[in-house]
Amino acid sequence: MRAILGILVFTALMWLFSSARKSVAWRTILGALALQFVMAFLVLKVPFINSAFRWVAETFVQVIGYTWKGTDFLLGRFSDGQVGPYLENFAFRILATIVFFSALSALLHHLGILAFFIRGFAWIMRYTLRLTGRESLSVAGNVFLGQTESPLLIRPYLDQMSRSELMLVMTGGMATIAGSVFAAYVGILGGTDPETQAYFATHLLTASLISAPASVAAAKLLVPETEPQVAGNAQIVKSSASNFLEAITNGTRDGLSLAANVGVMLLVFTAFVYMFNDLLGWVGGLTGLNPILAANTSFESLSMECILGYIGAPIAWLVGVSSDDIVLVGQLLGEKTVINEFYAYETLGKIKSGMSERSVLISTYILCGFANFASIGIQVGGIGVLAPSRRGELARLGFRALIAGTAACLLTACVISIMHP
């Protein structure tokens, strides 16, 4: 019941802050929310579809194992064929996975395999939600690709897109994840156990899939369409690689850049968190807050985690999280928004043993998206290169896209909360 209330509250808030409340296409909004439930039911409750998703997830887990074989070969101790403890860490296991999956995604795109699935999903989105061809391609692309990779599929159309369409492109990128980082999240949450990895891989795949229609609902509520729509199909821009070897090379280069960016961002933000926590702890000691927090909460002193946890707790309550875990889940939501989802998933991996299984599951869905402040800059810079004339519009829409992307992930979490009482 709280999750149902959450859907109503999140929808009402987005309508309240809409740029054109009278222009909201409620058929599209309600259709997107209904499509979420249908997709979630099919994937999670229909046995043969659930088995198919489970098989895909287990295949991903196998591929992650191949990545680790490459890491072992390159960095292991060749004398005895064993990998030392110094390699069993984030940099060599998780970041290496990003590089390989980026190369794999580039190869699948070049071979047309990704395009096949993107076209199929785009067709569903277009005819059920009445989206334009270029909108549906963008949303479908975000299920498989990242927030700066997916716009490449519709590059020729970006300059002519309406403000509402551009908002949907940005929101879709914020609300879903990329295949390259998907595998990294599986490694963070699943550890080295294949069964646990397959469990989280199944739910992460589901999250990215059903957050696509949620991104439509959120974007079209905050920035409704007020301009004449362009009918007709849109064609996917093909891979620029001349052959599969160049595609793998390009994907590897892009993956290396992404992995390096993720690594240094986590290094810097983790250092800042500890610095701020020391400062806040000093303030808490000076004001007498630390003893109060230690006696009445799970936090020993004033900290960023404490502040974010209590700010995000009401939102976690609305999603349907157990009352015992709402502060922890609120903390995770705050970390994802202020820092990034990698940092939040790392925290979830550390604290999930002290949470209920249901709270861990809902948290997995809440965090499954790129909606954070850094992504505004990434999108303005990345998409702005593809459409320089729209850079100003992208900057103006950035904060709204962040809100819409966060709301889309919360709507998805509400759906899962309802289906897993």
Contacts of 395 (CB under 8 A, 6+ apart): 380
Residue 60 has pLDDT above 70, yes or no: yes
Residue 25 to residue 208: CA distance in whole angstroms: 24
Q: What pLDDT sits at residue 364?
A: 94
Residue 90 has pLDDT above 90, yes or no: no
Helix (H, G, I), strand (E, B) or coil at 334: helix
Residue 421 has pLDDT above 80, yes or no: no
CB crowding 3-25: b at 16 or more within 10 Å, else e = beebbebbbeebeeebbeeeebe
**If you average pLDDT over residues 211-239, what whole number do you get?**
81
Q: What pLDDT sits at residue 84?
A: 47
Residue 79 has pLDDT above 50, yes or no: no
Q: What pLDDT sits at residue 144?
A: 78
Helix (H, G, I), strand (E, B) or coil at 289: helix
Exposure of 180 by Cβ count < 10 A (0-12 exposed, 13-18 middle, 19+ buried)? buried
**If you average pLDDT over residues 129-155, what whole number do you get?**
81
Give the whole-number percent of the chain exceeding pLDDT 90. 33
Residue 405 has pLDDT above 50, yes or no: yes
Q: What pLDDT sits at residue 85?
A: 46
Confidence of residue 274 (pLDDT cuts 50, 70, 90): confident
What does residue 38 show for φ and ψ, rounded to 5 degrees? -60, -50
Helix (H, G, I), strand (E, B) or coil at 77: strand
CB crowding 224-256: b at 16 or more within 10 Å, else e = bbeeeeeeeebebeebebeeeeebbebbbebbb
Q: Which of 36-45, 86-95, 232-241, 281-290 has the lowest average pLDDT? A: 86-95
- Of 33 and 187, which is predicted with more confidence? 33
Helices 26-45, 391-419: axis angle to 10 degrees equals: 50
Q: What pLDDT sits at residue 232?
A: 56
CB 313 within 8 A of CB 326: yes
Distances from the Cα of 57 to the Cαs of 99, 105, 201, 251, 289, in angstroms? 19, 16, 5, 22, 46
Amino acid at 276: F
Residue 219 has pLDDT above 90, yes or no: yes
CB 131 within 8 A of CB 139: yes
Q: What pLDDT sits at residue 86?
A: 41
pLDDT digits (tens, 9 = 90+) for 293-334: 888 877 888 988 889 899 999 999 999 999 899 999 999 999
Q: What pLDDT sits at residue 87?
A: 43
Residue 215 has pLDDT above 90, yes or no: yes
Q: What pLDDT sits at residue 9?
A: 96
Q: What pLDDT sits at residue 191?
A: 76
- Range among 101-115, 347-361, 368-382 with highest mean pLDDT value: 347-361
Q: Which of 339, 96, 57, 318 is closest to 209 using CA atoms? A: 57
Complete DSSP assignment for 80-91: TTBPPGGGSSII
Q: What pLDDT sits at residue 278?
A: 92
Residue 90 to residue 386: CA distance in whole angstroms: 32
Residue 33 has pLDDT above 50, yes or no: yes
Compute CA 258 distance to the chain's CA centroid, rounded to the nearest angstrom: 15
Residue 205 has pLDDT above 70, yes or no: yes
Mean of pLDDT over the chain: 84
Q: What pLDDT sits at residue 94?
A: 66
CB 252 within 8 A of CB 103: yes
Residue 384 has pLDDT above 80, yes or no: yes
Residue 278 to residue 314: CA distance in whole angstroms: 26
E-only strand ranges, 205-262: none
